Chains A and B, each alone.
Chain A
Amino acid sequence: MTSGILVSGPYAHSNSSTARTMGLVMLALLPTTGYGVYLFGWPALFLLIVTLLSTAGAEALCLRLAGKPVRPFLMDGSAVLSGWLLALTLPPWAPWWIGVSGGVIAIVIGKQVFGGIGQNLFNPAMVARVVLLISFPLEMTTFLAPHPLLAIGSPGFLDSLGITFGAGLQADAISSATVLGGVKTALISGLELPAINASVPDWHTMAIGTLSGSLGETSSLLIVAGGVFLLATRVISWHIPVAMTGTLMLLSAGFHLLDPLHYPGAMHHLLAGATLLGAFFIATDLVTSPVTSLGQLLFGAGCGALVYVIRTWAGYPEGMAFAIMLMNALTPLIDHYLKPRVYGRDRKGNPIIKAAIQD
C-alpha cells in the first residue's frame, strides 16, 4: 500500500531544502555584488565569474573523485556560494589566477578534504582568503579607487580582459588605500586621528560605498539590506550579527573614549572593511557556526572581539577572516558546552523540582 520502505513520520514537510537556503543567501548577496560590479567595472565581473567557475569545477572534480553523485551535490549551490563569498572579499582588479587558486583552495582544502558539505570546520571562503593573503600579499592588498562600469576613465571591455587575464594593472598609477588600511598606516607613522580624519571618507560615503575596497564589501547599506532579507527569511538568526557588531562597537567606543587620538570610534569599525559582510554573511555560515542561540551569541561576541584586537594591535589592517576562522575552531567546543535547557530540566540537566504539593 505504502510506497517504499516504512519510515517514521512526519509525512509532511516545510518545503525547505538546502538548495533553497543557499539560493536565498545568493539572492541576499545580489545587491552588494551588483553594486561592486558597477563600482569596479568589467574586471570585477570577470574575477567574480572565474571564481564561481573554479569553485564549481573543483567541487565537481572532488565529488567525482569521492564517488559521490555530482549533480545533486553541485545543485545544492553550496560550492558556488563559497566562491561567491570569496570573490566579494577579493580586491576587484585582482588577476584571474587569484580567483582560480582561491576557488580551488576553498573547495578542496576548505571543504572537501573534511568530507564535503556540512563537515568542514572552517568557512571555505575564509580559508581561501587567508591562504591567498599570506601567499600573495601584494595582489591581495592592491586596492583601487572606484572605476564605475562604462564611466569615462574606466577601462573598456577589452582593456578589462587585459587587466584580469593579461599583464595585470599598473598598480602605482591608480591604487588607493582602503579606509582601514589608510588609517592604520597613518597611525603607525605617528599621526593622530583628528589629522587623519580629513582624508577619511565620511560615514555617508561609507554607507553608500563609493570608496576603494574589496569587491563586495564597500556598500554598508546594501549589505545590511541583504542581511535583513536573510533575517526575514529566517535563513540566519539575529544572534551572531548583533553579538558581533555589538562587541566590536562596544570595544571600539570604549577605547575611543579612553584615547580619542589613537583609537578610531565605533562607526569607523562598523562601516569600514568587512565588518558588515562578515557579520551577516560569513560568520553566520551555517556549517561553521554554533547551533544554539547562546552559542551563537558567544561565537559572535568572540568574532567581534578578535576583529577589534587584530585590527588594532596586529600587523594586518583587517582581521575579519582570521577572527572568524579562530572562532570556527571553537565552534565544536561551544556546541559541546552550550546546549539549550531541556524542557522539564534545569540547566544542569536534572529534572526540575517536583511541586511541593506532591506528598
Chain B
Amino acid sequence: MKLFRISGGVHPHDRKGLTATLAIEDVPLPPLLHIPLQQHIGSPAAPLVHRGQLVRKGQLLAHSQGMISAPVHAPTSGRIVGIGNYPAHHPSGLSVRTITLKPDGKERWCDLETVTVDAGMLDPEEIATRVAAAGIVGLGGATFPSSVKLNLRNRYKLHMLVINGAECEPYLTCDDRLMQESAEHIIDGARIMARALGVENIVIGIENNKPRAQAAMQQAARMYDTIRIARLPARYPMGSEKHLVQTLTGRETPARGLTADIGIVVHNVATALAVHTAIRHGTPLISRVVTVSGNAVRRPGNLRVPIGTTVAYLLDYCGGFTEVPARLISGGPMMGQPLPDTRVPIVKGSNGILALTASEVHSGPAMPCIRCASCVTACPCGLVPLEMANHARAGDLDGAVRFGLMDCISCGSCAYVCPAHIPLVQYFNYAKGELTARQRTEHKQKETRRLAELRNERLERQKQAKRAALSQRKQTGEQSAATAEAAEA
C-alpha cells in the first residue's frame, strides 16, 4: 500500500538480533507474585480480596474504579499473603499498593466464559465491556485502558483500525515474536476490535526489519480483504501512533488531539492478542511477553511472564549478568525508564527489561551545544530541541513552550543524535514537570482566592441581613438599642 513520509526520525542500531530468532518461552512460576493495583493510566483498582484468602487463576483481585481504570486478576492460583506497599515499576522506586500472592503451583482456573461466534456477529458494547472486565490496557507500553479506546465510536466517526506492529524501539522483539507465533489470533483480535469500533478497514503496520512477522501476518490475513499489511520503513519513532497514522494515511493528527480526530484508532499487536484471548477464552490479562536483552544479560530471550513476577527472578532465569550493567531499563533504550531496583514486579506495560553495558549506552559527558541542528533535523514533531533546552535550563519555561515543549513526545531522537551528548530529554521532562507543578499551584491559588471571595461575600450577606433585621426591629418599635446590640454580638 502507498505510504507517506514523516519528517525527522533516526535510525538507531536495532540490536534485535540478540533475541529476534528466539521463540517465546514460558517462565516457571516464581515463589511470590507482587501485583500492583495501578498498572495503567487512570485510577488505581480497589482490592476485593483479603489477606489469607485463597484465589483461583484468573480471579478478580481488584476492580476498576472510575471512568478510566482497569481491574487486576490473579496470574495463578494461590494464597493472598499481603496487601500493602511494595516498590513500584517506576524510576522513583516509590512504593504503591500491591497485592502479594503466593502461588500454590496448582494453576486452578476460575470459571471462564468463552465466545465462539464470528467477530462480525459480536455486539460492540459487549466486546468493550468484556475487554474492560479482562483488565486489558495498551500493551505497547502506554497502558491506557483499551476499553476506553474501543468506546471511542460513540464520540468520533471512525473509519480505520490500525494495529501497531512497528516495534521501532531497538532490542525489543516481543511483538515480532507474537506476530510470528500467533498471527491468526492477532488477526482475530483485530477483527473483534474493529467490530467494537464499528470500522471495516484494518491496517497492520510492521517495520521492514521484521520480514518473518510480515510474512506470517500476511498469511493469516489472506482471507480478509479488509485487512492490509503495511510494510513500514524501519525508522524510529515509527511506533508513535500519530506518526504511524501519518505514514499510513498522510494525515496529521491535530495538536493536543487524538488520532480519533481523523477517524483512526491505533492498538498494539499484543493488545489485539489479549483481546482475542479475553473474548475467545474468557482469560483476563494475567501474563505478557517480555523481551529480556542487552549485552549484560547472559541468556537473552522472549519470555511469557505472569504479571507480578519480579525483575530479579526474570534476570535469574536468564542466567544473571555477565557483567555489572551500566543501565538497567524497563522498555526500550529510546523511551524506556531506568529501574532503581530489581525487586520491582513486571507489570502490564513492561515490554522489555534491558541490562546494557557501558559500550551499548555510549554516554559521554555533556559538552556545550554547537548549534549543529542535528536535533532539529531529527525531531519528528518539528520542534527546535536546542532552544527548548536552552530556555528550560535558564528556567524560562514559557520560552521552552514557545519552541514546542508541549508538543514534544519525549521520543529522544534529539538526544540520540546530539554530538555534544546534551541530555535534552532530561531538560524537557524537568520543564514539563515544572510546568505541571506551576499549573497546579496556579489552580490552587485561584481556588483559594475564589473560596476566600465566596466567604467574604457570605459574611457580607450575613452582616447585611442582620442590619436589615435590626432596622426592621427598630421600626416595629423595639425600645432598647442595647438589647439589639447584645443580640447582634
Contact = CB atoms under 8 A, between A and B. Distances in A.
Interface string B411-437: 010011111110101101100000000
A119 interface: yes
A354 interface: yes
Nearest to B418: A16
A358 B363 CA distance: 46
A15 B328 CA distance: 20
Contact of B254 (A12, A14, A21, A353): A353
A56 to B, nearest CB: 18
A119 B420 CA distance: 14
B420 A10 contact: no
B2 interface: no
A342 B261 contact: no
A1 B294 CA distance: 15
Contacts of A353: 254
B254 to A, nearest CB: 4
A134 interface: no
A189 to B, nearest CB: 44
A288 B369 CA distance: 12
Contacts of A18: 367, 370, 419-420
Given A292-B373, A358-B157, A15 B368 contact: no
Interface residues of B, number: 80
B254 A10 contact: no
B382 A13 contact: no
Contacts of B376: 291-292, 340
Interface string B255-272: 111001111000000000
Contacts of A358: 155-157, 260-261
A11 B333 contact: yes
Given A2-B339, A340-B382, A340-B383, A10 B253 contact: no
A198 interface: no
B255 A345 contact: yes
A345 B383 CA distance: 11
Interface string B316-339: 000000001111110001111111
Given A340-B384, A343-B381, A13 B371 contact: no
A72 interface: yes
Contacts of A13: 361-364, 415-416, 421
| Interface of A (DSSP majority class) | loop
A13 B422 CA distance: 11
B3 to A, nearest CB: 17
A6 interface: yes
Interface string B331-352: 0011111111110000000000
Q: Specify which of A292, A342, A359 lies most central, judged by the most chain B CB atoms within 10 Å of its CB.
A: A342
Given A3-B326, A14-B416, A353-B254, A72 B370 contact: no
Interface in A307-359: 335, 339-345, 351-355, 357-359
Contacts of A78: 370
Interface in A273-289: 286-289
A73 B420 CA distance: 11
Contacts of A339: 384, 403-404
A79 to B, nearest CB: 13
A38 B358 CA distance: 45
A287 B261 CA distance: 40
A9 interface: yes
A20 B417 CA distance: 13
Nearest to A12: B333
B407 interface: yes
A121 to B, nearest CB: 11
B412 A286 contact: no
Given A16-B417, A16-B419, A21-B419, A9 B255 contact: no
A2 B327 contact: yes
A291 B329 contact: no
Contacts of A291: 371, 373, 376, 384, 386-387
B373 A10 contact: no
A8 B261 contact: no
Contacts of A357: 156-157, 263
Nearest to A355: B262
Contact of A14 (B10, B370, B373): B10
B252 interface: yes
A357 B260 CA distance: 10
Contact of B261 (A1, A20, A341, A355): A355
Nearest to B170: A12
B106 interface: no
Contacts of B263: 355, 357
A343 B252 contact: yes
Contacts of A14: 10, 12, 416-417
A21 B255 contact: no
Given A7-B426, A9-B336, A344-B252, A116 B421 contact: no
A352 B254 contact: yes
Contact of B404 (A118, A287, A342, A355): A342
B91 interface: yes
Contact of A9 (B13, B326, B335, B374): B335
Nearest to A117: B368
Contacts of A237: 373, 377
A343 B255 contact: yes
B181 interface: no
B97 interface: no
Contacts of B370: 18, 21, 78, 117-118, 286-287
B371 A286 contact: yes
B369 A118 contact: yes
Given A1-B340, A15-B362, A357-B263, A118 B421 contact: no
A12 B334 contact: yes
Contacts of B404: 339, 342
A9 B328 CA distance: 11
Interface string B213-232: 00000000000000000000
A10 B252 contact: no
A170 interface: no
Contact of A343 (B327, B377, B407): B407
B141 to A, nearest CB: 13
Contacts of B407: 342-345
- Please list the 8 inter-chain residue pairs (A to B) with the smallest Cβ-Cβ separation, ordered nearest first: A344-B255, A10-B412, A291-B373, A351-B255, A16-B419, A357-B157, A12-B333, A340-B382
Given A13-B363, A351-B257, 5 more contacts: A1-B341, A12-B13, A14-B416, A17-B421, A335-B384
12 contacts: A1-B325, A11-B329, A17-B364, A72-B367, A116-B368, A118-B420, A343-B252, A343-B407, A345-B255, A355-B263, A357-B156, A358-B156
